[in-house]
């Protein structure tokens, strides 16, 4: 990909799954990586540095604006700037609507929607001053099409698409780009929580590709959207889903 070498990238939720794969892919492209997660990301930092770039682990809770402000401040202290933010931290707390608690609603909205607001708000003054920057967010096909048992998750994942489009309309003129990737069902810890029977009989039968996606396939989409090859792509959602939404 063009233009990723020596860029500084913050990736939230980078201690595992899609975020970890994205950290490794951006490192292969020559970018320097901030592994931002409330889980320990030091092992990912070690793997990233083996690729010959710099990396930093920052412990962050994306629901807490003070913690997020510290994440941005530490990044700027160490690297001097931030070029790309990937809002990827996310959780699920599934239940059918008639059983969904307010606690489950709040937890998922706080991480998956408000967390994206918090991180993007914190980075914007810096990017606006530089008159360049890319903010990418992990949405989900569930946000576009809905899903049984995921009222909270679908609301958050649809919400980040609305935020992304609004930001593109507001700030494309300032040299900033905002896009989402909407993964289908990807082989990570999150999907391992789905019972085998549900996965095989309800989910995989609806995926024309006949398999789960790999985290590296989402990382590749992020790398493209962050690169100079995507300079005129702003406010869009790229589904990476093995055709499961057709």
Site track 211-230 with ligand NAI (rule: CB under 6 A), x = hit: --------------------
Q: Which candidate in 26, 38, 57, 153 is catalytic?
A: 153
Any contact of residue 171 with ligand NAI (CB under 6 A)?
A: no
Per CB under 6 A, does 116 bind ligand NAI?
Answer: no
Indicate whether 31 belongs to the interface with ligand NAI (CB under 6 A). no
Which of 37, 177, 180, 242 binds ligand NAI (CB under 6 A)? It is: 37
145 counts as catalytic = no
**Residue 63 in contact with ligand NAI, rule: CB under 6 A:** yes
120 binds ligand NAI (CB under 6 A): no
Give long-range contacts, CB 8 A cutoff, 24+ apart: 2-6. Answer: 2/227, 2/228, 2/229, 3/227, 3/228, 3/229, 4/29, 4/30, 4/31, 4/223, 4/226, 4/227, 5/29, 5/30, 5/31, 6/30, 6/31, 6/32
Site string for ligand NAI, 76-115 (x = CB under 6 A): ------------xxxx-------------------x---x
Contact 47, 24 (CB under 8 A): yes
Q: How far apart are the first and last CA of the chain?
A: 28
117 vs 130 by CB, closer to ligand NAI: 117
Q: Collapsing DSSP states into helix, strand and coil, what is residue 189?
A: helix
Residue 35 touches ligand NAI, criterion: CB under 6 A = no
Bridge partners of residue 136, in order along the sequence: 86, 179
Taking the CB of residue 38, how many other CB atoms lie within 10 A of it?
Answer: 18
Binding positions for ligand NAI, rule: CB under 6 A? 12-13, 15-19, 37-39, 60-63, 88-91, 111, 115, 138, 140, 183, 185-186, 188-191
């Amino acid at each position: 990909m063009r233009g990723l070498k020596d860029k500084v990238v913050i990736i939230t939720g980078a201690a595992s799954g899609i975020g970890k794969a994205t950290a490794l892919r951006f490192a292969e492209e020559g970018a320097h990586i901030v592994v931002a997660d409330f889980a320990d990301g030091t092992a990912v930092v070690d793997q990233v540095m083996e690729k010959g770039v710099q990396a930093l682990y920052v412990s962050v809770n994306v629901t807490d604006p003070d913690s997020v402000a510290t994440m941005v401040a530490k990044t700027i202290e160490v690297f001097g700037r931030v070029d790309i933010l990937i809002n990827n931290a996310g959780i699920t707390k599934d239940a059918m609507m008639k059983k969904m608690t307010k606690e489950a609603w709040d937890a998922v909205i706080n991480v998956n929607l408000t967390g994206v607001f918090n991180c993007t708000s914190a980075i914007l003054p810096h990017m606006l001053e530089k008159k360049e920057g890319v903010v990418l967010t992990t949405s989900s096909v569930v946000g576009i099409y809905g899903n049984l048992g995921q009222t909270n998750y679908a609301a958050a994942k649809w919400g980040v698409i609305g935020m992304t489009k609004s930001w593109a309309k507001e700030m494309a003129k300032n040299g900033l780009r905002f896009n989402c990737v909407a993964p289908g069902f990807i082989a990570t810890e999150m999907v391992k929580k789905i019972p085998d029977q549900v996965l095989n009989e309800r989910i995989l039968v609806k995926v024309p590709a006949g398999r789960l996606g790999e985290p590296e396939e989402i990382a590749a989409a992020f790398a493209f959207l962050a690169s100079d090859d995507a300079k005129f792509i702003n406010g869009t959602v790229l589904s990476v889903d093995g055709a499961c939404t057709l």
